[in-house]
Homo-oligomer: A and B are copies of this chain.
Amino acid sequence: MALIVQKYGGSSVADADCIKRVARRVAETRQGGDDVVVVVSAMGDTTDELLQLAEGISERPGPRELDMLLTAGERISMALLAMAVEELGHLACSFTGSQAGVITDAAHGRAKIIDVAPGRIRSALDEGAVVIVAGFQGVSQETDDVTTLGRGGSDTTAVALAAALGADLCEIYTDVDGVFTADPRIVPAARRIPAISYEEMLELAANGAKILHLRCVEYARRFSIPLHVRSSFSRNEGTYVTADAEGNVMEDAIVSGVTHDRSEAKITIEGVPDKTGEAAAVFTALAESGINIDMIVQNVSAGDTGLTDISFTLPAADSATALHTLEGIKDRIGFRGLRHDDRIGKLSVVGAGMRSNPGVSATLFSALAAAGVNIEMISTSEIRISVVVHIHDLEAAARAAHSAFGLDGDQIEAVVYGGTGR
C-alpha cells in the first residue's frame, strides 16, 4: 500500500461538476488500496474575486488581513471536495494549512514553509480517511497567524506534505498532459516528455516553462520526491520528474526541451567607465532596490575610449524601478546614458546531455542564423543555453531550435492543451 499525494489546481475544481470528477479520481486511487492526501487550490477565479473585494475596500490592504481573506478560497474548495468524496462512500476529512501542520515564516503573501507537522493528517489516514488539505496556506510559527505561500504555493504544499509524510509519489494534476518539449501553442511539433530530471525541470521552470513553479521543483529535488505531472482531464500518463530521469524523448537528443519567456526587458547602461568596481556598484544599487537581474553582458571597451556598455535583463515589471535607481547613481558612476527595451524575448534550450556533448551552442546559433534570427545576448549554464532575441523573432527561434535538436515529433501523438471534458 502506497501513500500518494495528489494536487489539483483551480481549473480542476472550478465548479461542482469538476469537483465531482476530481472526487471520482481520488476515490479510484483510494479503491486501488493506496492512502491518498489531496492538496487543493481555490475554485477557478475565487482568489481573483476575493482580491477584487479587497480592492473595493483598500488600495493597499494589510498583508495579514489579505492572507486571512484569501485563505477562505481553499477552505471552500477543500470542504466541497471532502463532501464529494464522502458522497462516493469514502471517509474524507479536510484540513486547513494550519490544521495540516504547514508551519511557515511570518512573511505574509510569500511565506516560506519552515516545517510540516502532519500529526492530524496521519491520524486521519490511520482512520482510513482520504485527507484533503488546503494548498497555498500555512500558519506562522512566530505569530500564529494564517499565511499564504505566494505563487506556486499549492504545488509547494503538495511536495512539502509528500516529504513530511514520506509519500511514494506526488501527482501534480493540471490542465495539460505533462511537460512538453516546447509550448505546443508555439511549436506544434512539441511532444510530451515522459521523464525528466529535477535539474532539467528546474532550468525549464526558471526559464519560462509555466507548468511547474521553480519553488516546488526545488523542494522536490531537495527531498527526492518523485513528481508526476499529468492532466486531470485525461487518463494519459504525464511526465515523471525524478532524480535520475533524463528527459530526452529520442535517444540521441542532447536537448530535452525548449522554453521561451516574454516577461523580461533589457536595460543597457551606455558609456560606463571601464574601471574595477563600477559594475559592482551598479548591481549593488539594483539589488538594494529589490530587483532580480537575470542575464548580464558587458562588452569589451570600444577602442581606447575607456568606456564600456553593460546590458542586463530583468522582469519587465521592475523596469521603472530599475531606471529610477540607475538615474539616481548616474553622477556617481559617471555613465553616459540608459537604453530600455521591452521588445525582447528569451529562448532557452535545456538538456542534461549538454554536459557530454560539445557543439550545442554552435548548433543553436547556426539554426537561429538559418532562420534569420539575430541574437542580442547569450548566457549559459551547465545544462542550458539562453539567448535574447527580438520579440518578433521569438516564436520562429523556438521552432528552429526545437527542430535543430531533433525534438520534432511525428505529430501522431495528439497534443492536448486546456479545454474541458477530456
A interface residues with partner B (beta carbon < 8 Å):
16, 19-20, 50, 53-54, 56-58, 61-62, 64-66, 68-69, 71-72, 75-76, 78-80, 82-84, 86-87, 92-94, 99, 120, 144
B19 engages A57 (CB within 8 Å): yes
B94 engages A80 (CB within 8 Å): no
A80 engages B53 (CB within 8 Å): yes
* Nearest-Cβ distance from residue A202 to partner chain B, whole angstroms: 35
A56 to B66 alpha-carbon distance, docked (Å): 28
A93 engages B75 (CB within 8 Å): no
B72 engages A72 (CB within 8 Å): yes
Q: 4 closest A-B pairs (Cβ-Cβ)?
A: A69-B79, A16-B56, A68-B79, A72-B72
A418 to B318 alpha-carbon distance, docked (Å): 50
- Selected contact of A16 from candidates B57, B65, B66, B92, CB within 8 Å: B57
| Oligomer: number of copies | 2
Which of A16, A50, A71, A83 has the most chain B CB within a 10 Å cutoff? A83
A421 to B79 alpha-carbon distance, docked (Å): 36
Which of A57, A64, A66, A71 has the most chain B CB within a 10 Å cutoff? A57
* 12 A-B pairs in the complex with CB atoms less than 8 angstroms apart: A19-B57, A53-B76, A54-B83, A57-B83, A58-B86, A58-B87, A62-B83, A62-B92, A65-B80, A68-B94, A69-B79, A99-B144
* Nearest-Cβ distance from residue A131 to partner chain B, whole angstroms: 12
Chain B residue, CB-CB nearest to A61 = B83
A54 engages B75 (CB within 8 Å): no
A393 to B108 alpha-carbon distance, docked (Å): 60
| Supplied contacts A53-B80, A69-B80, 11 more A-B pairs, CB within 8 Å | A16-B57, A57-B80, A61-B83, A62-B82, A64-B93, A65-B82, A66-B83, A68-B75, A69-B75, A69-B76, A75-B75
Query: Assuming the A-B contacts A16-B57, A84-B57, A86-B62, are A75 and B79 also in contact, with contact meaning beta carbons closer than 8 angstroms in the complex?
Result: no
A79 engages B56 (CB within 8 Å): no
Taking CB atoms, residues of chain B closer than 8 Å to A144 are 99, 120
* Nearest-Cβ distance from residue A112 to partner chain B, whole angstroms: 22
A177 to B335 alpha-carbon distance, docked (Å): 70
- Selected contact of A79 from candidates B66, B76, B79, B92, CB within 8 Å: B66
* Nearest-Cβ distance from residue A344 to partner chain B, whole angstroms: 38
- Selected contact of A76 from candidates B58, B72, B80, CB within 8 Å: B72
Taking CB atoms, residues of chain B closer than 8 Å to A54 are 79-80, 83
Chain B residue, CB-CB nearest to A56 = B16
A152 to B269 alpha-carbon distance, docked (Å): 66
- Selected contact of A50 from candidates B58, B76, B94, CB within 8 Å: B76
Chain B residue, CB-CB nearest to A73 = B72
Taking CB atoms, residues of chain B closer than 8 Å to A99 are 144
A82 to B16 alpha-carbon distance, docked (Å): 31
Taking CB atoms, residues of chain B closer than 8 Å to A72 are 72, 75-76, 79
A62 to B83 alpha-carbon distance, docked (Å): 6
